[in-house]
């Protein structure tokens, strides 16, 4: 998994407004190599996210870790490299911060979310194969 720390290491014009909402971005080859994980300043500052407006008491922004996987996933899944990086990053975060599987959700799962994010195809994948692979990966660690 390739990490780039931004925006201080990523030119500001490449770190779009959308990416500034998330703590991490996994690129698809546009704005970084395919599967590259870009860590935003919100992580280093431990600043609350801005990815799930409208949730009760802003708790999903205050306590959630927003990971943006770049692309439109209505009709296809992220690239294999993006999925590999996402699994590695999410497994690391779950293990390090003791995040239970039930707390791994898509953007549209957040209360009052008015979005189709993370797209039809990736949403099904996230709640199916992705979580299944994560369970296997995390079980192997223990």
**Model confidence pLDDT, tens digit, residues 70-84:** 999 999 999 999 999
Number of H-type helices and E-type strands within the chain:
6, 4
Give tens-digit pLDDT for 10-39.
444 444 444 445 678 898 988 889 999 988
CA-to-CA distance for 34 and 31, rounded, in angstroms? 9
pLDDT of residue 7: 47
Give tens-digit pLDDT for 55-65.
777 777 777 88
The CATH number of 3-141 is 3.40.80.10
Q: Which of 45-49, 109-113, 132-136 shows the lowest mean pLDDT across its residues?
A: 45-49
Domain range summary for the chain, segments of one domain joined by +? 3-141
Q: Is-contact 43 24, C-beta < 8 A?
A: yes
Mean pLDDT over all residues of the chain? 81
pLDDT of residue 88: 94
pLDDT of residue 32: 83
> pTM (2 decimals)?
0.82
CA-to-CA distance for 122 and 104, rounded, in angstroms? 13
User: Residue 120 above 90 pLDDT?
Assistant: yes
């Amino acid at each position: 998994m390739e990490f780039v720390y931004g925006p201080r290491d990523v030119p500001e014009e490449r770190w779009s407004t959308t990416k500034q909402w998330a703590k991490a971005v996994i690129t698809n080859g546009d704005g970084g190599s395919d599967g590259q994980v870009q860590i935003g300043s919100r992580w280093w500052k431990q600043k609350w996210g801005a990815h799930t407006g409208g949730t009760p008491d802003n708790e999903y922004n205050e306590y959630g870790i927003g990971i943006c996987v770049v692309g439109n996933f209505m009709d296809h899944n992220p690239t294999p490299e993006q999925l590999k990086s996402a699994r590695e990053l999410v497994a690391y975060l779950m293990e390090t911060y003791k995040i239970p599987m039930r707390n791994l959700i898509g953007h549209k799962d957040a209360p009052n979310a008015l979005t189709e994010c993370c797209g039809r195809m990736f949403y099904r994948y996230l709640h199916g194969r992705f979580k299944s692979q994560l369970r296997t990966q995390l079980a192997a660690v223990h």
